[in-house]
Amino acid sequence: MWLPGHLGVLTRWIPPSLVDEVVEATGRTERRVRLLPARVTVYFVLAMALFGDCGYRRVWAALTAGWPRGSVADPSAAALRQARQRLGPEPLALLFDRLRGLLGTTDTLGVFWRGLRLVAWDGTCLEVADSVANVARFRRHGARTTRPASYPQVRLTALIECGTRALIDAVFGPQQYTELPQARALLPSLGPGMLLLADRGYDGFQGLRDAAATGADLLWRVQAGRLLPVIDPLPDGTHLTLITDRRSGDRLTRWMRHGRRGPRPANLIAITLRVISFRVTVTATDGTCRSSTVRLVKCSTPSGIRPPNWPLSTTSAGKLRPPTTG
């Protein structure tokens, strides 16, 4: 028999009471006693994520390794597959929703920087089972000059807390979708008091605008070819720039090409950013060196969007503020 609360090390972090709660909330509670009840199947699916290179039987063996031989069930791979099918995805989705969130405190190393909680988002692709349903939903992907990939893939974009690596939120979708639409789905998990880090690929006007509108501060790497005109140079070697929507960008470009003669174009829809450029040199063990320039943009305005005709003004820290009046 299964003793309540003791199914491997997973129960230390995910208590059986929580698993029972999500199973009941999603209507997966058994009407009769089964060899593999829903609670056990939840832990089995979680163990599959820890032992991704193992088949069903080996995952089961790893999950129950601490039990005396003969004291637990020894299901076949077919029985484990049927248990997964009975469970479905809903209990796992609800369990993730109950567990995700911030973990770090002010005493946790690497979580805070100057009073701001460090968070980051990024995306990756994961292979999924080669089933008819998965191929129809996620498709196979490969280079145009080669055959399609062996397995369909899903794209995952996750928002994590730095320092603890706790998952704050995540979204899955077909691989052909870009990371930007998925990142927008994570915006409700951002807010004031956070400093969001991001790599290249998220630095479009709409992505910056939407992320800044959450109230979070932004520190993002930008693509090497991105034009970041110097609007106002700062004493520390950084400068302020404007990133605009397409229509405002044309008017700003014409104004810059004419040597900034006349007043700045009115009614620009723009985000004011501070640009930080630096050069990184890596020396290998054989003495060879590789160097590259890295550019970051920082947004610390209250909403991220600069109102039309708002003159640029900076504090000693380089943050933007509205100009004061008499």
pLDDT of 322 reads 30
Q: Dump pLDDT digits (tens) for 182-201.
A: 899 999 999 999 999 999 88
Q: Please, which pLDDT band fits residue 317 given cuts at 50, 70 and 90?
A: very low
User: Which of 189, 215, 247 is the C-terminal boundary of a domain?
Assistant: 189
Same domain, 255 and 311: yes
pTM of the model: 0.79
Give yes or no for residue 41 having a pLDDT over 50.
Answer: yes
In this structure, the number of other CB atoms found within 10 A of the CB of residue 143 comes to 8
Q: Which residues contact 237 (CB under 8 A, 6 or more apart)?
A: none
User: Which of 84, 99, 114 is the C-terminal boundary of a domain?
Assistant: 99
The burial class, CB within 10 Å (0-12 / 13-18 / 19+), for 123 is: buried
Please report the DSSP string for 219-261 in residue order: EEE--TT-----SEE-TTS-EEEEEE-HHHHHHHHHHHHTTT-
**60 lies in a domain?**
yes
Give the pairing type, strands 194-198 and 217-221. Answer: parallel
Same domain, 249 and 199: yes
| Distance, CA of 191 to CA of 256 (rounded, Å) | 34
User: Which of 72, 99, 126 is the C-terminal boundary of a domain?
Assistant: 99
pLDDT of 22 reads 96
Bigger pLDDT: 310 vs 181: 181
Same domain, 95 and 166: no
Among candidate residues 297, 279, 121, the one with its CA nearest the CA of residue 221 = 297
In single-letter form, the type of residue at position 238 comes to T
Same domain, 52 and 182: no
- What mean pLDDT do residues 95-117 have? 94
**2 lies in a domain?**
no
Same domain, 326 and 220: yes
Same domain, 222 and 295: yes
**4 lies in a domain?**
no
Same domain, 86 and 124: no
Same domain, 166 and 115: yes
Q: Dump pLDDT digits (tens) for 131-140.
A: 888 888 888 7
**1 lies in a domain?**
no
Please report the DSSP string for 202-226 in residue order: --SHHHHHHHHTTT-EEEEE--TT-
Structure tokens at 81: 């597959």
How many CA within 13 A on the CB side of residue 214? 22
Same domain, 196 and 185: no
Give yes or no for residue 323 having a pLDDT over 60.
Answer: no
Same domain, 216 and 297: yes
| Distance, CA of 213 to CA of 180 (rounded, Å) | 16
| Distance, CA of 168 to CA of 100 (rounded, Å) | 5
Give percent of the chain above pLDDT 90.
Answer: 43
Domain containing 123: what range?
Answer: 101-189
Helix (H, G, I), strand (E, B) or coil at 70: coil
Q: Please, which pLDDT band fits residue 122 given cuts at 50, 70 and 90?
A: very high
